[in-house]
Structure 1
């Protein structure tokens, strides 16, 4: 079955052909702006709040319209994440598969009977983004280039697409780092684009209660809230995760301590360089039990085990920084008969859409808990105060938040934030994360009993 070339505009096509009867005003605006490129309109850039429907309603509709309008046309879709292409965009396209019986829907490709196609891939190899040109002419088989989750795509890929002969272009993403091609489309290069920012309050399907919860959790100026709900880029490229003023304010207005909730301990290991630190959270209270320098690994391991026993800590409650030299320390502690949960800050975050890695998530989430008045820190010493207020947020190349490395902090003359790591690890680890402890960890540890499976777990 040959494709019927449509004469409808993109939003009309979405409404009548795809039966998308619930398009929002902003979705109609964006689809019409895409269609105007047929007559010389500017390329389109959309910065939209998380969960706004930009992929399912705008990108998918635009692709179906384009292949119906140009049965020999070429659609090239890329994203910084193959998961976005395979698990988000293509399922949204397959929703409409029965409406196009002549099209062949593959895993990340669509083929029309006339030879047109849409292909999706994820790459940081600029070479794969080159070489897309009409084979006949721009009226018969034009090229439509789409960059989804554009904040995560390297500039080299955008530059490669610039060498392609395209008629249609769409860049869409939630906002991210304050630099790069997607950012510049809304700033230095804005006069060359049709741009639209879409706030979460323009999307009736997004629960207002979620906006309220996120506002309370992050605050209006936090980069995650600004991106997630306000569709705004964070202009300051470097910012403290927790500023001295905000920590002072939080300490002045600490909540009443409640120690009858969840118990979580976090160990930061120095392995002879900086400080070994043990911090413990009981309910909403967090205290540093001990911070000390010890060059002998086995001696430090024995000291940790003794502190665990003195503080009645069980294996399921104790987390240890297992990256780098921390692995050797945890191994030494296990030789002493105590097994703990291993924390790998370099692994993926539990919220991978916003954070580059787990340690970045722990710092940002933990500091927000302090800032929002949910944590009682008691009286903290000057060193601890300084460590909590000197680490900076960074945007990773993939457009997600992280914290600067300890090596960079040392190079700039700032002390390694070992106490900060321990405090924030104690705040965020536990029921918030999905770590598990093996049966061996409980059964083999030299404790009289374990309430790992039955102890009360509470929030604050």
Structure 2
């Protein structure tokens, strides 16, 4: 059993409370401050949502969260999903395998292309990759220690969010949702706006990340401009001002809604 493993036996209670130390001691990585804060929020039982630019380490923190949950919580289950098979099977899942390798955890975990399980408890204690194009496969994942990981969450459709919400009926079931903020609609956008009170939210910009090349940031700035939606989404980790199928950009509508118009003044007619 995992708790009899000498390397983790004495420290497991500490790692449950301090996942950043799990990353340092077991996975042999140094988390950025925001990554450690995200992991700490999960340890407190909070739902976490992160919007960011490219290259800041959001896939790494998702992989760390998966392995921390499996290593430290008995019979944990971690369903992971993404809007595309490429993101899920070619990016997130190999990242999990990478950190199993770096941490020397092959004797603890069995890694396959769609699943990571604790050896000896393969049917009870595992993480599983499920594409969001079949949201019903995410249902029924009830466990005392349940973590949903949603990668590139801006592309997840509402029906998948509804399935995830319906499965979190046990105490302590939490969500980690990460991604570039590509859309001004859907569950990911709502997590930063009308559903904000249910989430612990972060924005991480590529502009300030030590993991991102300054040259790339400057190239994106010069090529697209800081006010472009490409720069906002891919670098600054901000939602776009408008979307391709929108006649009037949403930010202009919001500006009109909250515009402070004084009473009185001359009447004007525009044509």
**Structure 1 position 36 matched with structure 2 position 44:** yes
User: Partner of 1:195: helix, strand, or coil?
Assistant: strand
Identify which of 115, 120, 127 aligns with 1:118.
127
**Structure 1 position 157 matched with structure 2 position 160:** yes
**Structure 1 position 20 matched with structure 2 position 29:** yes
Identify which of 35, 47, 52 aligns with 2:51.
47
- The answer to whether the 8 Å contact 1:238/1:392 transfers is no
Give the TM-score, by structure 1 length.
0.48
Question: In the aligned structure 1, how far is the partner of 2:241 from the partner of 2:74?
Answer: 42
Matches within 5 A, 1:321-332: none
Shift of 1:146: 0.9
**Structure 1 position 191 matched with structure 2 position 194:** no
Question: In the aligned structure 1, how far is the partner of 2:21 from the partner of 2:154?
Answer: 29
Identify which of 56, 64, 69 aligns with 1:66.
69
* Structure with greater proportional helix content: 2
Shift of 1:238: 5.5
- The answer to whether the 8 Å contact 1:67/1:116 transfers is yes
Shift of 1:237: 4.1
- The answer to whether the 8 Å contact 1:239/1:393 transfers is no
Unmatched 5+ stretches in structure 1: 241-390, 395-460
The match for 1:80 is 83
Shift of 1:239: 8.0
Question: In the aligned structure 2, how far is the partner of 1:144 from the partner of 1:124?
Answer: 20
Question: In the aligned structure 2, how far is the partner of 1:156 from the partner of 1:90?
Answer: 23
Question: In the aligned structure 2, how far is the partner of 1:202 from the partner of 1:158?
Answer: 31
Question: In the aligned structure 2, how far is the partner of 1:229 from the partner of 1:86?
Answer: 24
**Structure 1 position 227 matched with structure 2 position 230:** no
- Using CA pairs under 8 Å that are at least 6 residues apart, name the structure with larger relative contact order, 1 or 2: 2
Higher CA-based Rg: 1
The match for 2:107 is 101
Shift of 1:28: 1.1
- The answer to whether the 8 Å contact 2:56/2:212 transfers is yes
Give the TM-score, by structure 2 length.
0.80
Identify which of 127, 134, 141 aligns with 1:132.
141
- The answer to whether the 8 Å contact 1:226/1:234 transfers is yes
Cα 1:203/1:67, change in 2 over 3 Å: same
Unmatched 5+ stretches in structure 2: 251-271
Cα 1:81/1:93, change in 2 over 3 Å: same
**Structure 1 position 2 matched with structure 2 position 2:** yes
Shift of 1:393: 9.2
Question: In the aligned structure 2, how far is the partner of 1:83 from the partner of 1:18?
Answer: 25
- The answer to whether the 8 Å contact 2:130/2:137 transfers is no
